[in-house]
Amino acid sequence: MSKPSFEARVPIYPRTVKGRFRKLKTAILLLAYGVYFLLPWLRWDRGSGPDQAVLFDLAGRRFYIFDLVVYAQDIFWLAGLLVIFAMLLFFVTGLAGRVWCGYFCFQTLWSDVFYMVERWIQGERNKRMKLARSPWNANKLIRYGLTWLIWLLISLLTGLAFTLYWGDAPELFMQMITGKAPFAAYATTAFLTATTYVMAGLAREQTCTYMCPYARFQGVMFDSDTLIVAYDEKRGEREKGRHKPSKQLLQRESRVENGVGDCIDCGFCVQVCPVGIDIRKGQQYECISCALCIDACDTIMDSIGYPSGLIRYTSEKELEGGKSNPYSLKNIGYAAVLAITIGALIWSIMTRSDVEVSVRQIRQPLSVLLSDGRVQNRYEIKFNNKTSKPRHYRLSIRGLPEAELDSHWKDDIKLNPEHSIKFQARIKQKPYIAGSNRTDFDFVFTPMGEENAEAVIHHSMFYVPDNKLKKN
Ligand code: SF4
Ligand code: SF4
């Protein structure tokens, strides 16, 4: 009989486990939740502008991240950040396997909390399995209903917290609860609520196994030196396989002598696994390297007096008796690209100018002949003050002899903190002075009232039609 192409999901009921990796995971979870939920409420005095520490102001086309204000034109930083994330993921995966999945991924963190709620309302693994098998009755209805309700509440808070990053959090929160927030705020919250509920409550490990692209390609970053969660098969099985613990086999020497392995086949490592696999079958792509099976097996080993580490973080090479080398060419390459990209991004942020000027020559028409015989070119100037202080500039030109600069903003360009202005400047010159139909010149923006501040210089071009170059 051929195998069916579809197999229904076998529900997973992970058992609670205590241990150092569980503690580490809980600490990371608390930190991540604390940062995610509280950050929009953190106030930050940056002199001007909003007082929210992290604010993604789409309408104002700028992101506030503590003292850093990122404008739309700084979008290449985002590209740099994406490269850094990608390289960091490659580097860490090559070195330590899927630690991102096991400890930091949102899917893992949120599923973990949903499991905690499930355990709290429905009980430990056996009770949950029994409840799932039982027919619908009042007890099942209440426990399932309460679980779903709390999941929904966590999902709603998750969606709401995400939305608060995109507006003034206290004000937006009040608008949300009084029904006065923009439609986009409700739509975003509803979308995040639904996706959180589905991913962490219903799909769970299936998100990692079937949907996540990283789970599929992470294998190519692994090599025999990569740190993985692995079962020491040689020690666990020996020649005669697993055994039931007995007094005669308590000493390692007697187990070695009898050829039996250290695994007592208790199944604890399988019961705690959030993706429902048996690590003793070897490396599997479903494994998210959460290390809970290490905690489980260490607990068992400690309780029967065997050395811990039957399941442990190790590498294929070490399992074969060799020694891992974390300094492979591949890892050094990832680390180098990572360091260069981080350095370039920091350098770009640190050396960003306080003001940004763009000058565009108006080309419709490129030049106009005035009644006094002069030729006029027009320019559109955009001036952006990226600082939290007001700035004043005086505009002049250099490199165009006897030319006249005509602009409303010429003598005192006032720039409010974090504001930009756009204006036109006209330059008029007698055509025969130009000498050529294209003359390079500079706009010079001289700072007023600021000692040691450097002038901002912007290069441009003055155009005179060929037939106007000669003196009439
Ligand atoms: S096999 Fe172990 S490390 Fe892998 S997902 Fe299961 S419990 Fe986590
Ligand atoms: S927890 Fe350890 S002893 Fe128990 S089945 Fe798993 S590997 Fe064997």
268 alpha carbon to ligand 2 midpoint, in Å? 6
Atom of ligand 1 nearest to the CA of 288: 5
Shortest-distance Cα residue to atom 6 of ligand 1 = 273
Q: State the pLDDT at residue 101.
A: 94
Confidence (pTM):
0.81
235 alpha carbon to ligand 2 midpoint, in Å? 12
Point out the ligand nearest to the CA of residue 103. Answer: 1
pLDDT lower than 70: segments of the chain: 1-3, 470-472
Point out the ligand nearest to the CA of residue 272. Answer: 1
Query: For 235, left (φ over 0), alpha (ψ -120 to 50), or beta?
Result: alpha
Is 311 touching ligand 2 by the criterion CB < 6 Å?
yes
Domain ranges of the chain: 20-221, 228-319, 355-468
Shortest-distance Cα residue to atom 8 of ligand 1 = 290
- Residue the block writes with tokens 């919250």: 189
Atom of ligand 2 nearest to the CA of 265: 5
Map the chain to HEC letters: CCCCCCCCCCCCCCCCCCCHHHHHHHHHHHHHHHHHHHHHHCECCCCCCCCECEEEECCCCEEEECCEEEEHHHHHHHHHHHHHHHHHHHHHHHHHCCHHHHHHCHHHHHHHHHHHHHHHHHCCHHHHHHHHHCCCCHHHHHHHHHHHHHHHHHHHHHHHHHHHCCCCHHHHHHHHHCCCCCHHHHHHHHHHHHHHHHHHHHHCHHHHHHHCHHHHHHHHHCCCCCCEEEECHHHHHCCCCCCCCCHHHCCHHHHHHHCCCCCCCCCHHHHCCCCCCCHHHCCCCCCCCCCHHHHHHHHHHHHHCCCCCCEEEECHHHHCCCCCCCCCHHHHHHHHHHHHHHHHHHHHHHCCCCEEEEEEECCCCCCEECCCCCEEEEEEEEEEECCCCCEEEEEEEECCCCCEEECCCCCCEEECCCCEEEEEEEEEECHHHHCCCEEEEEEEEEECCCCCCCCEEEEEEEECCHHHCCCC
Atom of ligand 1 nearest to the CA of 289: 3
Reported as half-sphere exposure (CB side, CA atoms, 13 A), residue 198 has a value of: 8
Atom of ligand 1 nearest to the CA of 102: 8
Shortest-distance Cα residue to atom 7 of ligand 1 = 273
Q: State the pLDDT at residue 206.
A: 93
Q: State the pLDDT at residue 411.
A: 75
Shortest-distance Cα residue to atom 1 of ligand 1 = 279
Atom of ligand 2 nearest to the CA of 293: 1
Shortest-distance Cα residue to atom 4 of ligand 1 = 287
Q: State the pLDDT at residue 48.
A: 73
Shortest-distance Cα residue to atom 1 of ligand 2 = 297
Atom of ligand 2 nearest to the CA of 270: 6
Is 171 touching ligand 2 by the criterion CB < 6 Å?
no
229 alpha carbon to ligand 1 midpoint, in Å? 7
Atom of ligand 1 nearest to the CA of 269: 7
Chain centroid to CA 234: 40
Is 300 touching ligand 2 by the criterion CB < 6 Å?
yes
Query: For 276, left (φ over 0), alpha (ψ -120 to 50), or beta?
Result: left
Pocket of ligand 1 (CB under 6 A): 229, 272-275, 277, 279, 287-293
- Probe target for ligand 2 pocket from 17, 265, 308, with the most ligand atoms within 8 Å of CB: 265
Is 266 touching ligand 2 by the criterion CB < 6 Å?
yes
291 alpha carbon to ligand 2 midpoint, in Å? 13
Point out the ligand nearest to the CA of residue 262. Answer: 2
Q: State the pLDDT at residue 452.
A: 74
Point out the ligand nearest to the CA of residue 265. Answer: 2
Atom of ligand 2 nearest to the CA of 280: 7
Point out the ligand nearest to the CA of residue 278. Answer: 1
Point out the ligand nearest to the CA of residue 310. Answer: 2
Q: State the pLDDT at residue 144.
A: 97
355-468 carries CATH number 3.30.499.10 = no
